[in-house]
Chains A and B, each alone.
Chain A
Amino acid sequence: MSAHDTSEAEDSLELFLQSVRPRMKALFAHYRVPPQDTEDILQQALLALVYQRQVIRDPEAWLFGTLRNKCLLYWRERRRKLYDAVDAAVLEVMAGPMAPEQEDADLRRDLATAIERLPERCRTLLSLRYSQGYEPPELAKRLGYSPTSISKTTNRCLAALTHELTAGLGRKKTP
């Protein structure tokens, strides 16, 4: 590649970035990724584009496909944090009375009711986890899941529980 080609390529990247700028901003706003978290996502995607530019025929489509995917992964990651946090909070609530006896009993009842509204496999899994303190490997063994799939299943059940917490009565979602 000649020096002239390189300069052209640089120019074209700059022009390309300017041309996609408004759409890019709209995409981040659309997915509601906070600006401070946008930086990592954008940098990773653009670096990958620069490295793989030779094999990418439609850079704009590629870039937006990649960014959309990264935004979804970002929220998936955030949701996973939520499930972990809900799980930890429930475990803590179940671990011992931290509130007056009546309130504690109410909480346990409310939690049991919430779990009761989940699909069968989640009821079994979460009951074992919260009432008998089973860890994922023990759950896998007891319920016949493979060690690799138990965390996915547990996550789905925690997602269902979290959904139940927010959906209130009468709404069910199969994980």
Chain B
Amino acid sequence: MSEQGGPLGSNSAADLSKPDLHPSPETLWQFMEGGLAASEMRLVLRHLLRGCRSCQERARGVWNITLPALAAAAAAKVADVSVVSVVSVVSDTAKVADASEMPAAPCATCSIDGPTALALLPALLPAQPAAAALPAPTLHAAHGSCVRPALAPHLEVREAATATEIAETSSDAAYETVLDRVFSRINVEEAAVEAARQRAGGLFDELTQHPAARQQLLVQNSVRFCDRMLCERLLAASHDEGFRAPARSLELARVAVAVAERLVDSPPLRVPGSPPPATGELLAGLRARAWAQLGNALRIGSDHEAAAQAFHAVDALLVANPRLGLIDKARVFDLKASFCKDRRQFADAAQLLDRVITIYRRLGQSDLLGRALTQKATVLFDAGDVKASLVLLRDALELIDPHEDPRWFLIVRHNLIAALVEDGQPREAFALLFHTRPLYLKMGDRRNLLRMRWLEGQVAQGLQRLEQAEAAFREVSDAFVELGIEYDAALVSLDLAAVFAQQGRTSEMRRLAQEMVLFFESRQLHHEAMAAYLVFCTAAQIDQAGLGLVQEIAAFLKQARHTPDLRFVPPAPFADRR
């Protein structure tokens, strides 16, 4: 076999083992793709180990296959022996007027006579996309090294086409065939998926009218509920309930996990016209999302231990299925990041969100990217890096379309104003709040309006307009008490206490502490938060609640909001008053 040898199939392994022979370009290509049999791999390896420069050069070209421009050039180089010759002959053949002009004598190299070669060559015209797939003898017949000399006297040699162009033409046609096939399948399946989605709506309504235990039973025992689209519907519903109805969200997530696991254990019922059952990575993605949603619902319910177990199941699925869909991965990482944030594992949360950001950037989903940046900004804010948080929030604002996604746009603006206040930029916060007010009003939701008012109080406090701040905090505090939103009521009351502390109004602070503690004692403020609040009350009773202490307790309450096991360590004078 020569350095320009034919495909491996035409050579024996023994030939390759001879030191003066080189693997053919095709063999080398197959080697670099790991596509050779073990014994052939060994022979090529030996050859490369001997340090053959020309083969190393060729193999190196194939190596950087993930850089497409380089790879294309490399492939053209590898292919140039067989394809260039074919191109020349093909383009030349078009000019052959008469078979009688072909030499009748067989070619000295391939033993094919002129008329036979001419009969074979039309199959290699660019219009025939299967040229590359022709059997070796045909290619050999078309190979310039043997047929061309025979044809040369009769032909006007033309070097119009390049190897790359021809390779592209043939693969172009092959791609067209594949696209046709897949597109027609997908068009049929899309209708089936839509029908399945409609059916899942009915199943969801039917299932959720039962108590939770019965729902689980139905999923376990009735194959009708073993439905992928039902699982998707349950996940969406669980996510929507989120903070609004945590118990309901948890219930739905549990059922979604049961359905997802059931899909693995037993094949779903095939309804005529239904889409093909989810397999492999699609199913693994669904399972991972179901477990992650369960973890998220448990996190919101402050059951961190159970949430950790759910996320452990997610991790196991990710390890077992490294080729999970990108969007599934992003959603799972996003939810896990929230869990890490609540656990105050800020570095882990930020790392996960970086992956989410990379994925959304790669998928070109600017709205989701904006949301992920906002999430990361929250993590950084909680970790105390307010400056970095501001940068991300400004980036996020550029990505979220206020008309398409007004709710998220408002969230980002709100967080940005809060971060500006925290960063000691109340004037900028004031200006932004002024421009954001119409958005709050447009959303119309009472809670949003209260949050706007709360923010107004904080901005006013930052601007040292303490009377305005007091009015805003009182208004919001009363509303939160009325609505029974105890945790936020506690936080606002501390903001109000800070205003009193700034003004030295100790008696009013004492009164505020007495009123609030009565309210919290009848509510479910978690243990550590209550302990911290009691320290504030005690300090207020003895006129020792300075601005520093109030701010310290407020900071703790913010940190402990979703982390009830975070322990409050009172400052030294109050260490024994927990």
Residues of A within 8 A of B (CB): 1, 6, 9-10, 13-14, 17, 21, 24-25, 28-32, 34-36, 38-39, 42-44, 46-48, 50-52, 55-58, 60-62, 64-66, 68-69, 72-73, 75-76, 78-86, 88-90, 92-93, 98-99, 106-107, 110-111, 114, 148, 162-163, 165-169
Contact = CB atoms under 8 A, between A and B. Distances in A.
A13 to B, nearest CB: 5
Given A46-B186, A64-B364, A65-B364, A84 B179 contact: no
B57 to A, nearest CB: 8
27 contacts: A17-B187, A28-B175, A29-B171, A29-B175, A32-B65, A34-B171, A35-B177, A35-B178, A39-B182, A42-B179, A43-B185, A47-B186, A47-B189, A47-B282, A48-B325, A50-B190, A52-B327, A56-B365, A57-B366, A57-B368, A79-B34, A84-B34, A86-B41, A86-B45, A89-B41, A99-B17, A167-B56
B194 interface: yes
Interface in B17-51: 17, 31-36, 38, 41-42, 44-46, 48-51
B36 A85 contact: yes
Contacts of B175: 25, 28-29, 35, 38
A110 B50 contact: yes
Nearest to A13: B190
A85 B50 contact: no
In the A-B complex, the 8 residue pairs with the smallest Cβ-Cβ separation, listed nearest first, are: A61-B364, A81-B34, A82-B34, A65-B363, A35-B174, A166-B59, A110-B49, A89-B45
Contacts, number: 183
A75 B194 contact: no
B172 A25 contact: yes
B407 interface: no
A166 B35 CA distance: 16
B366 A58 contact: yes
A133 B65 CA distance: 31
A85 B46 CA distance: 13
A10 B190 contact: yes
A107 B46 contact: yes
B33 A82 contact: yes
B276 to A, nearest CB: 8
Contact of A168 (B32, B56, B75, B168): B56
Contact of A39 (B35, B75, B178): B178
A1 B38 CA distance: 57
Q: Majority SS of interface residues in chain A?
A: helix
Interface stretch (B66-74, B112-120, B244-252, B503-511): B66-74
A69 B362 contact: yes
Interface of B: 17, 31-36, 38, 41-42, 44-46, 48-51, 53, 56, 59-60, 63, 65-66, 68, 71-72, 75, 168, 171-172, 174-179, 181-183, 185-187, 189-191, 193-194, 198, 232, 281-282, 319, 323, 325-327, 362-368, 404
> Which residue among B68, B72, B193, B319 has the maximum number of chain A CB atoms within 10 Å of its CB?
B68
Given A57-B367, A88-B38, A48 B327 contact: yes
A2 B364 CA distance: 30
A1 B198 contact: yes
Contacts of A44: 281-282
A44 B327 CA distance: 13
B51 A110 contact: yes
A32 B49 contact: no
A62 B363 contact: yes
Given A13-B186, A81-B34, A110-B51, A92 B42 contact: yes
A150 to B, nearest CB: 14
Contacts of B171: 29, 34-35
Given A32-B72, A110-B50, A72 B66 contact: yes
Contacts of A50: 186, 189-190, 193
A53 to B, nearest CB: 9
Contacts of B198: 1
A165 B59 contact: yes
A25 B362 contact: no
B363 A66 contact: yes
A60 B363 CA distance: 9
A84 B77 CA distance: 26
Contacts of B33: 78, 81-82
Contacts of B363: 61-62, 65-66
A43 B46 CA distance: 39
Nearest to A12: B190
Nearest to B35: A81
B38 A166 contact: no
A61 B368 CA distance: 12
B49 A107 contact: yes
Contacts of A55: 327
A57 to B, nearest CB: 5
B68 A65 contact: no
A24 B186 contact: no
A161 to B, nearest CB: 10
Contacts of A168: 51, 53, 56, 60
B326 to A, nearest CB: 6
Nearest to B58: A166
Contacts of B35: 81
> Which residue among A42, A47, A64 has the maximum number of chain B CB atoms within 10 Å of its CB?
A47
Nearest to B167: A29
Given A29-B175, A30-B68, A61-B364, A17 B183 contact: yes
B174 A46 contact: no
A14 B363 CA distance: 21
A28 B49 CA distance: 33
B59 A93 contact: no
Given A62-B327, A66-B326, A81-B33, A32 B51 contact: no
